[in-house]
A and B are shown apart, each in its own frame.
Chain A
Amino acid sequence: MKQGNGTVPRIGVYVCHCGTNIAGNVDVKAVVDFASKLPGVVVAREYKYMCSDPGQSLIKNDIREKNLNRVIVASCSPHLHEHTFRHATLEGGQNPYLFHMVNIREQVSWVTEDKMSATEKAKALVEAAVYRVRYHEALETKEVPVNPDVLIIGGGIAGITAALTLANAGKKVYLVERDYSIGGHMAKFDKTFPTLDCASCILTPKMTAVKDHPNIHLFTYSEILEIDGYVGNFTARILKKPRYVIEDRCIGCYVCVEHCVYKTPKFPSEFDEGLGLRKPVFIPFPQAVPLIAAIDPETCIEFKSHRCKKTCQEACRDLVGRDAIDFTQREEVVEVQVGAIIVATGFKTFDARRIPEYGYGRYPNVYTSLEIERLVNSSGPTGGEIVMRDGRKPRRVGIIHCVGSRDRNFNPWCSRVCCMYSLKLAHLVRERTGAEVYNFYIDIRTPGKGYEEFYEKLMQEGVHFIRGKVAEVTDWTITPEETGKLVIRVEDSLVGVVRRIPVDMVILSVGLEPRDDAEEVRRQLNISCSSEGWFLERHPKLAPVSTFTDGIFIAGACQGPKDIPDTVAQAGAAAAEALALIDRGSVELEPNIAVIDEQKCSGCHVCIALCPYSAIAFNEEKNVAVINEALCKGCGVCVGTCPSKAITQQLFTDEELLAEIEGVLLV
């Protein structure tokens, strides 16, 4: 038997039951018996929960008493407990990198149906580890300082909350928002459920606080171009798009808007979901932060023909004396250094046109819920009056739940907020118009504080609740009462009959989806997405705001549909995690980096060009390549391509990998 790195290996193997998670499908005792007979194994044990204190003590005691110099734990994924057992190894008196972890839960017991084959697979993986650890060496970790500044991507309620929390703790924050103003979706809402407090009354103070905070540097109408670096030391390149208004000269006085050559607003306002109109020069909404005008080059005459009288510019210069309008403004790239990043990019709503049976886009009186939010908002296009596109007040309103949600043809998930916002809209519509309101639902889900009580209140208000998914909204009418109305066809599944309900207005409660560019953002940041496209947390229960990339945290609906209270809680948690990282001051880097043997390096430069992290430089004096340990991510590209075989990767040396393969094949 090979002796590996010279010392005679004395191996301890510990197989975890994980309750019944592993033991239910793997014969743990058989694995232990098998392991105890493998070469170099001094002791093999099983235990119900290896990660518990007594479990870890087994390892520590054996290292001391049996002079172990290699430790193997066969349990769950290294993502969960590698750190735990490395630490136990260290406490027992050995270098933590003489430990190796085998995953027999996620990769064996949870995914193998037959107990026999599961046990065999577990044995093979344990044997692979036994062969591998011989070649393990004691490794040293490296500490690098952490930059104390934080980048937050997305200026909705999640980004705002995280930014204020960090800034109040004295940290410098760069908050980057794609739109002209921060506030996100919440800024569009009139009331919030279940308390019905005014959304802008609670949001505006926060937005103003962001603007006024000395520790927050706000970038609006800006996007992230590129993120580089690693935990504690990221570099972000931010693209500031031109709004054709010089930010620090504009005072948000609206004079330019009033003097635009368009006397009346003519173009659909994005903020009002197209229900209201704006001019080419505009301020998105009265509470916008920053309260700065912007010019839309798509609709502005000056950009289309260069023949506008530019009355806006003239007015700003001559009447206000600010001269803030600059048609020649260009985009600008700003680079910032940060130690941590919080991603709070939010969601988009389901495109109701994808379900043609509901008639959105064909029948003018079919609205999305987001449009209704603007319609009920006192700063919205109708000043809060609920009138339809033809100016009439609706007397009968149908609210269709789960549009695009809980539907395998579109999005299989429950969007979590639609039940409650539908109830809220039902209340507001009934209160302001006196209309008969019908809710069409599959299941009412109100699992929040005060939510069920709100549902009960709505029932008492006389709002109709009909359990059934609507098949169609149609202008095919049969009875005289239906004439001129839209008819909702549904099975009242509690009664067991099909009903046709004529209404004036239909509200589609559209679900929540990942943003279109979620995949792009994921790649920029090197984080993971679930198959649906939501950003993936490190652990669904115990690390809900961390990602698999150290130093990058997630908050709000970019991680999955959630309402405002949950979003704010998560944003606070993300800020706390970022704070914990920054205040530690330094981070330990994994030693799984590439190492160059200067004797063997021929100075061919191949690795330098290939390194995706620009971590390799060239030493002209010695004529060899040199790896920057802080930048190396241990991806292995250089190791695989070096023609002189001069590069090895710690924890993944050729010997270790070959021994592991040999071991797995031996069973």
Chain B
Amino acid sequence: MEAIQRTVKYEADLSPQFSEEIRHLPGGETLWHCIQCGLCSASCPLSIYMDYTPRRIMAMTREGFKEEVLQSKTIWLCASCYACTVFCPQQVEITHIMYHLKQMAIREKRYPRNFPIPVLAREFSTWVRNHGRVSEFWVVFRTWRKIAIGRLLRMIPQGLKLMRLRRLPISVHSIRQRRQLKKLLAQMNGGA
């Protein structure tokens, strides 16, 4: 028999600062309009894969369940399709709140380590900072090299076919004003 788990939540384990922080980010205040109707979860094409439905993430964020929220897979499964946002009867900016949570999870290094999506996001942004444009080939390559080399090997046939169809250039294209861009971005704080 599996071990029985105790799930009581003590006030001391919650983080009111966490919900306050969200409240003060752009769009964050709309979370306090949420009536927990679940339309976000129902309209979400990915909620069926999430560990907590978006509605629950909204409730947990509002009540300060910081650990659970920042370590959830939900925020990384969010494909930012904005379905929830346009459906929401209370006009809660759910997609943006999800972005805030992702940014916070990366900043505080709480995201699930072997989960490829946050790793891809980091590789993507690093590449853009250096080159100004993205190379689809190199970003995917570097992501999987970090997480699972085996997966990379399995991707080879598909990659080769794409190259044959001239849809996956390996050559790196950078913008001319790379230094201007670096200087521009360096003026704002941003993640890793």
A residues near B, CB below 8 A? 357, 402, 406-409, 442-443, 467-472, 489-493, 496-498
How far apart sit A497 and B55, CA to CA, in the bound complex (Å)?
10
Q: In the complex the two chains form, is B91's CB within 8 Å of A490's CB?
A: no
Chain A residue at minimum C-beta to C-beta distance from B86: A409
Partner of B42, one of A402, A408, A443, A471: A471
Interface residues of B in 100-122 (CB under 8 A from A): none
Q: In the complex the two chains form, is A496's CB within 8 Å of B53's CB?
A: yes
Q: In the complex the two chains form, is B38's CB within 8 Å of A468's CB?
A: yes
Contact A471 B36, CB 8 Å, known A489-B42, A496-B56, A498-B53: no
Chain B residue at minimum C-beta to C-beta distance from A410: B89
Task: Judge whether B41 is part of the interface by a CB distance below 8 angstroms.
Answer: yes
Q: In the complex the two chains form, is A406's CB within 8 Å of B89's CB?
A: yes
Q: In the complex the two chains form, is A493's CB within 8 Å of B36's CB?
A: yes
How far apart sit A226 and B35, CA to CA, in the bound complex (Å)?
44
**A-B complex: 6 closest residue pairs judged by Cβ atoms:** A491-B38, A471-B42, A407-B89, A491-B41, A469-B37, A493-B38
Q: In the complex the two chains form, is B38's CB within 8 Å of A469's CB?
A: yes
Q: List 6 A-B contacts (CB under 8 A).
A: A468-B41, A468-B42, A469-B38, A471-B42, A493-B55, A496-B56
Min CB distance A411 to B, Å, is 10
Min CB distance A473 to B, Å, is 11
Q: In the complex the two chains form, is A468's CB within 8 Å of B37's CB?
A: yes
Min CB distance A492 to B, Å, is 8
How far apart sit A442 and B38, CA to CA, in the bound complex (Å)?
9
The secondary-structure label for the interface of chain A is loop
B residues near A, CB below 8 A? 33, 35-44, 47-48, 52-53, 55-56, 87, 89-91
Chain A residue at minimum C-beta to C-beta distance from B36: A493
Q: Which of B37, B52, B55, B91 has the most CB of A within 10 A?
A: B37
Known interface pairs A407-B89, A471-B87, A498-B44; 20 further A-B residue pairs with C-beta atoms within 8 A, sorted by A's residue number: A408-B89, A408-B90, A408-B91, A442-B35, A442-B37, A468-B37, A468-B38, A469-B38, A471-B39, A471-B42, A490-B42, A491-B39, A491-B40, A491-B55, A492-B38, A493-B38, A493-B55, A496-B52, A498-B42, A498-B47
- Using Cβ atoms and an 8 Å threshold, which residues of chain B touch A491? 38-42, 47, 53, 55
- Using Cβ atoms and an 8 Å threshold, which residues of chain A touch B55? 491, 493
How far apart sit A409 and B33, CA to CA, in the bound complex (Å)?
13
Chain A residue at minimum C-beta to C-beta distance from B43: A471
How far apart sit A471 and B55, CA to CA, in the bound complex (Å)?
13
- Using Cβ atoms and an 8 Å threshold, which residues of chain A touch B89? 402, 406-409, 469
Min CB distance B46 to A, Å, is 10
Q: In the complex the two chains form, is B48's CB within 8 Å of A498's CB?
A: yes
Q: Which of B33, B43, B55, B56 has the most CB of A within 10 A?
A: B43
Chain A residue at minimum C-beta to C-beta distance from B87: A471
- Using Cβ atoms and an 8 Å threshold, which residues of chain B touch A468? 37-39, 41-42
- Using Cβ atoms and an 8 Å threshold, which residues of chain B touch A472? 42-43
Min CB distance B30 to A, Å, is 10
- Using Cβ atoms and an 8 Å threshold, which residues of chain B touch A497? 48, 53
How far apart sit A402 and B181, CA to CA, in the bound complex (Å)?
50
How far apart sit A407 and B43, CA to CA, in the bound complex (Å)?
15
Min CB distance A650 to B, Å, is 48
Q: In the complex the two chains form, is A409's CB within 8 Å of B38's CB?
A: no
- Using Cβ atoms and an 8 Å threshold, which residues of chain A touch B36? 493
How far apart sit A519 and B44, CA to CA, in the bound complex (Å)?
39
How far apart sit A442 and B90, CA to CA, in the bound complex (Å)?
12
- Using Cβ atoms and an 8 Å threshold, which residues of chain B touch A406? 35, 89
Chain A residue at minimum C-beta to C-beta distance from B42: A471
Chain B residue at minimum C-beta to C-beta distance from A357: B87
- Using Cβ atoms and an 8 Å threshold, which residues of chain A touch B38? 467-469, 490-493
- Using Cβ atoms and an 8 Å threshold, which residues of chain B touch A496? 52-53, 56
How far apart sit A143 and B41, CA to CA, in the bound complex (Å)?
65
Min CB distance A297 to B, Å, is 42
Min CB distance A310 to B, Å, is 54
How far apart sit A33 and B169, CA to CA, in the bound complex (Å)?
82
Chain A residue at minimum C-beta to C-beta distance from B48: A498
Chain B residue at minimum C-beta to C-beta distance from A492: B38
- Using Cβ atoms and an 8 Å threshold, which residues of chain A touch B42? 468-472, 489-491, 498
Q: Which of B41, B52, B91 has the most CB of A within 10 A?
A: B41
- Using Cβ atoms and an 8 Å threshold, which residues of chain B touch A489? 42-43
Min CB distance A510 to B, Å, is 15
Min CB distance B117 to A, Å, is 21
Q: Which of A442, A470, A471 has the most CB of B within 10 A?
A: A471
Chain A residue at minimum C-beta to C-beta distance from B33: A408
Min CB distance A400 to B, Å, is 11
Partner of A469, one of B39, B47, B56, B91: B39
How far apart sit A469 and B52, CA to CA, in the bound complex (Å)?
17
Chain B residue at minimum C-beta to C-beta distance from A497: B53
How far apart sit A467 and B55, CA to CA, in the bound complex (Å)?
12
Chain A residue at minimum C-beta to C-beta distance from B44: A498
- Using Cβ atoms and an 8 Å threshold, which residues of chain B touch A357? 87
Chain A residue at minimum C-beta to C-beta distance from B90: A408
Partner of B91, one of A409, A443, A467, A498: A409
Min CB distance A478 to B, Å, is 11
Q: In the complex the two chains form, is A493's CB within 8 Å of B37's CB?
A: yes
How far apart sit A496 and B48, CA to CA, in the bound complex (Å)?
10
- Using Cβ atoms and an 8 Å threshold, which residues of chain A touch B52? 496
How far apart sit A409 and B92, CA to CA, in the bound complex (Å)?
11
- Using Cβ atoms and an 8 Å threshold, which residues of chain B touch A470? 39, 42
Min CB distance A408 to B, Å, is 5
- Using Cβ atoms and an 8 Å threshold, which residues of chain B touch A493? 36-38, 41, 55
- Using Cβ atoms and an 8 Å threshold, which residues of chain A touch B56? 496
How far apart sit A496 and B42, CA to CA, in the bound complex (Å)?
10
- Using Cβ atoms and an 8 Å threshold, which residues of chain A touch B35? 406, 442-443
How far apart sit A406 and B39, CA to CA, in the bound complex (Å)?
12
- Using Cβ atoms and an 8 Å threshold, which residues of chain A touch B90? 408
- Using Cβ atoms and an 8 Å threshold, which residues of chain B touch A443? 35
How far apart sit A406 and B37, CA to CA, in the bound complex (Å)?
10
How far apart sit A406 and B36, CA to CA, in the bound complex (Å)?
12
Chain B residue at minimum C-beta to C-beta distance from A470: B42
Min CB distance A345 to B, Å, is 28
Chain B residue at minimum C-beta to C-beta distance from A488: B42
How far apart sit A402 and B43, CA to CA, in the bound complex (Å)?
17
Min CB distance A318 to B, Å, is 60
Chain B residue at minimum C-beta to C-beta distance from A468: B38
Min CB distance B107 to A, Å, is 28
- Using Cβ atoms and an 8 Å threshold, which residues of chain A touch B91? 408-409
- Using Cβ atoms and an 8 Å threshold, which residues of chain B touch A471? 39, 42-43, 87
How far apart sit A497 and B53, CA to CA, in the bound complex (Å)?
7
Chain A residue at minimum C-beta to C-beta distance from B83: A471
- Using Cβ atoms and an 8 Å threshold, which residues of chain B touch A407? 89
How far apart sit A498 and B37, CA to CA, in the bound complex (Å)?
12
How far apart sit A498 and B48, CA to CA, in the bound complex (Å)?
7
Min CB distance B29 to A, Å, is 14
Min CB distance A203 to B, Å, is 34
Chain B residue at minimum C-beta to C-beta distance from A407: B89
- Using Cβ atoms and an 8 Å threshold, which residues of chain B touch A467? 38
- Using Cβ atoms and an 8 Å threshold, which residues of chain A touch B53? 491, 496-498
How far apart sit A421 and B34, CA to CA, in the bound complex (Å)?
26
Q: Which of A408, A409, A470, A493 has the most CB of B within 10 A?
A: A493
- Using Cβ atoms and an 8 Å threshold, which residues of chain A touch B47? 491, 498
How far apart sit A496 and B89, CA to CA, in the bound complex (Å)?
19
How far apart sit A490 and B42, CA to CA, in the bound complex (Å)?
5
- Using Cβ atoms and an 8 Å threshold, which residues of chain A touch B87? 357, 471
How far apart sit A44 and B116, CA to CA, in the bound complex (Å)?
74
How far apart sit A491 and B52, CA to CA, in the bound complex (Å)?
12
Min CB distance A166 to B, Å, is 42
